[in-house]
C-alpha cells in the first residue's frame, strides 16, 4: 500500500501558542487511521492545515505524492481530499436531496457544466447514498430542520457524494445517539471496503476508534506522542498519562 497522505514536520502557531509542533504522520491508501488526543492537543488544527484552511508555519504535506501545503481549500478538495466539520456544516435552507446534488465532484469547471441540470445519474446516486445513511424519508426536508445526529449523517453522505479518495472525519460520532453509533461505525467501514475511500478520523470515543482504526496516532500539546496499532496505543503509559492529565 502506498502512502496517500504524508505529513512531515508540520508546525502551526497562533501568535505565541504552538498548536502543532513538528507533527509527522502517514496515511496509506485503503487504511482507516485514527487521530486521538486530549482536548486542545491540536487535532483539528492539523486537519485544518491538511485541507488548506490556513497556511502552515513549517513542514510539508503531500497528497498522492503532490505537495499541497500551498494550495487553496477548494483546489485541495478537488484533488479528492474532503473533510467533515466538528460542528457539522450542511446547507440549512436547502433540502437534503439538494445538499447531496450540490456535493457532486467539481472537476469540470466549464460554464457548460455549471449551468447544466443535475444529471439523473447524480440524482439516483444521491438517493442511494441517502438510503445508505438512513435519511431517505427526509430527502425533501430542509437540512436545517434535521436533528443534530441526522445532520452529521447527511454531512457524511455529502462527503461520499463527492467521491473523495481520502476523507477526513472530525469526530463523526460526537452528539450521535449511542444506539446509532454502532450503525455509523459499520457504515464508515463499508465506505472504505465498498467505495474504496481511505479514512482519517479524529475521535474521542475510545471504543469507537479502537474498533474502527487500524493505526492510531495520538497527539498531546501539539506534538505526536505515540502511534501504532490500537491495542498498543491504548496500553501506552504515556497516552494514559496524557488523558488523565499527568503530562
Partner 1 sequence: MMPAWAKRWRLRALETVARCVPFALLVLRIILRWLPPALLALGIAAPFLLPSFQVQLTFLWIMIVFALCWDILGGQMGYNSFGNIAFFGIGVYTATIVQIGLFQDVAAYTAAAGMQTISLTPDQYFEGLFIGLAAAPVLAVIVAVVLGLALLDLRGHYFAIATLGLGIAAGELAAAWTFVGGSSGVQVPVYPGSLQSGRLLFYFLSAALCITTFITLRWLYTTRFGLAINAIRDDEDKAEALGLHTTRYKIIAWCIGAVFLGLAGGLVGHIIGFIDPREVAFAGASFGVWMILMAILGGKGTLWGPVIGAVIFHVMRELFWTYLFGWQNVAMGVLIVVVVVFFPFGILGWLRRRYPQLFVRDAAQPGAAE
What residues make contact with partner 1 under the rule CB under 8 A?
51, 73-74, 77-78, 82-83, 85, 89-95, 97-98, 101-106, 109, 111, 113-120, 122-123, 139-140, 158, 162
185: left (phi over 0), alpha (psi -120 to 50) or beta: alpha
With a CB cutoff of 8 Å and minimum separation 6, the contacts of 58 are 9, 10, 11, 22
129 or 220: CB nearest partner 1: 129
66 or 89: CB nearest partner 1: 89
139 or 204: CB nearest partner 1: 139
Rounded Cα distance between 20 and 5, Å, is 17
164 or 230: CB nearest partner 1: 164
2 or 93: CB nearest partner 1: 93
Cell of 244: 488523565
Helix axes 148-161, 178-195, angle to 10 degrees: 0
Contact in structure between 6 and 26 (CB atoms under 8 Å): yes
* Least distance between partner 1 and beta carbon 57 (Å): 22
3 state SS of 90 = coil
* Least distance between partner 1 and beta carbon 81 (Å): 9
- The CA–CA distances, whole Å, from 241 to 67, 203, 218, 225 equal 35, 18, 12, 11
Amino acid at each position: 500500500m502506498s502512502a496517500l497522505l504524508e505529513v512531515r514536520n508540520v508546525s502551526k502557531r497562533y501568535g505565541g501558542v504552538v498548536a502543532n509542533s513538528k507533527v509527522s504522520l502517514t496515511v496509506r491508501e485503503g487504511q482507516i487511521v485514527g487521530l486521538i488526543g486530549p482536548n486542545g492537543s491540536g487535532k483539528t488544527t492539523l486537519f485544518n492545515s491538511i485541507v488548506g484552511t490556513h497556511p502552515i508555519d513549517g513542514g510539508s504535506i503531500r497528497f498522492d505524492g503532490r505537495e499541497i501545503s500551498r494550495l487553496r481549500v477548494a483546489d485541495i478538495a478537488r484533488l479528492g481530499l474532503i473533510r467533515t466539520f466538528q460542528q457539522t456544516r450542511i446547507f440549512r435552507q436547502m433540502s437534503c436531496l439538494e445538499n447531496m446534488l450540490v456535493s457532486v465532484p467539481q472537476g469540470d469547471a466549464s460554464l457548460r457544466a455549471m449551468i447544466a441540470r443535475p444529471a439523473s445519474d447524480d440524482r439516483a446516486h444521491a438517493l442511494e447514498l441517502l438510503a445508505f445513511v438512513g435519511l431517505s424519508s427526509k430527502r425533501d426536508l430542509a437540512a436545517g430542520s434535521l436533528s443534530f445526529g441526522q445532520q452529521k449523517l447527511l454531512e457524511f453522505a455529502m462527503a461520499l457524494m463527492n467521491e473523495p479518495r481520502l476523507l477526513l472525519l472530525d469526530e463523526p460520532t460526537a452528539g450521535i445517539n449511542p444506539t446509532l453509533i454502532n450503525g455509523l461505525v459499520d457504515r464508515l467501514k463499508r465506505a472504505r471496503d465498498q467505495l474504496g475511500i481511505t479514512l482519517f478520523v479524529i475521535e474521542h470515543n475510545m471504543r469507537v476508534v479502537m474498533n474502527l482504526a487500524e493505526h492510531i496516532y495520538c497527539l498531546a500539546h501539539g506534538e505526536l506522542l505515540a502511534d501504532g496499532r490500537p491495542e498498543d496505543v491504548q496500553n501506552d503509559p504515556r497516552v494514559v498519562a496524557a488523558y488523565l492529565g499527568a503530562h
